[in-house]
Each structure stands twice: as structure tokens, then as C-alpha cells.
A = this chain, B = another copy of it.
Amino acid sequence: MAMIKYPTGQGSKKNLKEESSTNFGRRGMSLEKMINLSNKHYLNLGIAVVHKKPTPIQIVKVDYPNRSHARITEAFFRQPSTTDYNGVYKGYYLDFEAKETTRATYLPLDNFHEHQIHHMEQCLKQKGICFVIVSFVKLNRFFMLNASQVIKYWNLQTKNGRKSIPVEIFETHGYEFKPSSLPLIPYIDYVDAIIAKESK
């Protein structure tokens, strides 16, 4: 697997900078933190079981200073082969990815890795509910969008050269929400909307 500079969701300098600019009464909370709190909220209330997957690490060296502890002394971040979050809600399989962007009019597609797109395609084929949660940091706008739209724009890249998803697509096909009370990221509302639409 390829080594990468900054893994998704890792507390990198870039993310810390973005966090400080999303401080709208949420004390500079990152999108990841907001989702983790929402997961916890849904879990505690018995509404859904969703966890963030651990960051994949390539371990090179491990020391055993004593019998009770293993200490990793050399390791690297690996590129995740799936999305960051998955779980179960009323028997439905949920799968999503979170992205923050400082762009005001579009989400650059280089926020995604090819295998993440491929994973979303595979999940949709297995009738999983798969979507992205996007924070337009400078606009203070939050959206959820079905993975099928992301895949569509990903595939358009090779055809028309467009390397982003316009914010208008989020406005017309997505689900906009304002993080206020818990759950800050009310993704189950969006999932309910998808289920209602699909069962029509």
C-alpha cells in the first residue's frame, strides 16, 4: 500500500488549521469530532451502531520493553482502502465518508482516493446506504450527498475534465443541515429520507 503524507482524519497541521476556521460556537470542532459525537449519541440512545474505523498503520518495528507492553517504534500511515465510517441501523448497512473543504463553490474530487470511490460503488451494489458528509468550511454550510452522485462526478472527470463537484449539486441533490444540538451531524435523518425514497 502507498504511504501518504496526511491520512484522512488524522490531526495534521492542515486539519488543525481548518478546525480553527470552523469555530461557530462548536469550539473549533473538526467535522470528524462532530461525527464521532453524533455516533456516540446514536449509540447511547440505541438508535444506530456506527464507528469510525481506525487509521490504517503499517508497523515496521515493535519493541517489547517488558512483558506487559508492546511499543511501536517505527510505523507509517497507509492509505485507507475503504471509507472511514460504517455500521448498522434497523438492519440497514450504513457507510460514509466525511470531507472538509475550504473551497466556496465546489468540492475538489482529489479529496477522494480511487479505491474509496470503488468501495462506495461496491457498497451500493450490495444495497448498502452509502453517502458523504461535506463541510464547506468558509460557507459554514454542511451537506450530505448520496455516493451515487460522487461516483457520477468521479466518472465524468475522464470525460469532461471537471475535477470537482459544484456546490449546486449539493443544493439540488443533497441534504443540507445546520449543526446545532446533538446529534450535530443528524445523518440518520438523511438515511431515513433515503430509505423512504427507495421504498416508494
User: 1/0 per residue A41-81: CB within 8 Å of B?
Assistant: 00100101101011111010000000111111111111011
Once the chains bind, are B49 and A88 in contact (CB under 8 Å)? no
> Which residues from chain B contact A74 at a C-beta distance below 8 Å?
71-73
**Bound-complex Cα distance A86 to B53 (A):** 11
Once the chains bind, are A92 and B95 in contact (CB under 8 Å)? no
Once the chains bind, are B88 and A93 in contact (CB under 8 Å)? yes
Q: A53-B53, A90-B127 given as contacts; is B5 within 8 A of A68 (CB)?
A: yes
**Bound-complex Cα distance A143 to B106 (A):** 50
**Interface residue A24 (Cβ < 8 Å from any Cβ of B):** no
**Bound-complex Cα distance A91 to B89 (A):** 11
Count of A residues near B, CB < 8 Å?
Answer: 45
For residues 1 through 42 of chain A, which have their beta carbon under 8 Å from a beta carbon of chain B?
3, 5-6
**Bound-complex Cα distance A55 to B58 (A):** 10
> Which residues from chain B contact A73 at a C-beta distance below 8 Å?
73-74
Could you give 18 example pairs across A and B, Cβ below 8 Å? A5-B67, A46-B122, A49-B123, A54-B55, A54-B57, A57-B75, A69-B76, A70-B77, A72-B74, A72-B76, A73-B73, A73-B74, A88-B93, A88-B95, A88-B127, A88-B128, A90-B127, A91-B92
